Amino acid sequence: MTLTEVLVAMLVLAIVVFGALSFRYYTSKELFQADSRMERARLALVLLESWKGMGGNLLYDPTEDVGTLLWRPSEGPATPAGLHHLGSYMTRTDTGEYYATLSYLNETADEPALLHVAVTWMPAELGWHSAESRSATALTTYANARGL
């Protein structure tokens, strides 16, 4: 075997190993981000269903809601245009800190109240500088005081 053949074989082997490691890295990263998106969706659903269960009451406060998560007042995602801000809250889980903003549109004679919850995530090791931490998961539903 000549030196050229050995160098070509090492180059091919390095490309294969680098490709496999790169694939493993990006797969792990995507899995971690998917877990974060699922956690944000779960937290948004818990907040939204709890608020809806109270008929969309504007006195709803997740810090007083008895549950497994401890929410506390904090900053959160921006309130969407056209909606009224109810409050912003923060909770901490094993995967990082989650920030939620609750907003609404008042009930009218023709339409039930619109309830909106947006949740963002701040991974402990990445901070606010990561693009993933700035993306929000938002859920919206309708509720009225009559429980319909």
Note the pLDDT of residue 88: 92
Note the pLDDT of residue 70: 84
In angstroms, the CA 128 to CA 122 distance is 6
Would you say residue 73 lies in a domain? yes
Determine the length of the chain: 148
Would you say residue 3 lies in a domain? no
Note the pLDDT of residue 148: 45
Would you say residue 89 lies in a domain? yes
Would you say residue 103 lies in a domain? yes
| Contact between residue 87 and residue 102 where contact means Cβ atoms under 8 Å apart | yes
121: left (phi over 0), alpha (psi -120 to 50) or beta: beta
Split into its structural domains, the chain has a count of 1
Supply the range of the domain harboring residue 70: 37-143
The neighbour count for residue 59, using CB atoms within 10 Å, is 7
Would you say residue 23 lies in a domain? no
The alpha carbon dihedral of 77, 78, 81, 86 has a sign of positive
> Mean pLDDT in each 10-residue stretch from start to end of the chain (148 residues)?
90 92 88 86 91 87 77 88 93 85 88 91 60 74 69
Note the pLDDT of residue 125: 57
Note the pLDDT of residue 10: 93
pTM exceeds cut of 0.85: no
Q: In what order do the strands lie in the sheet with 72-73?
A: 72-73, 84-93, 96-105, 113-122, 137-143
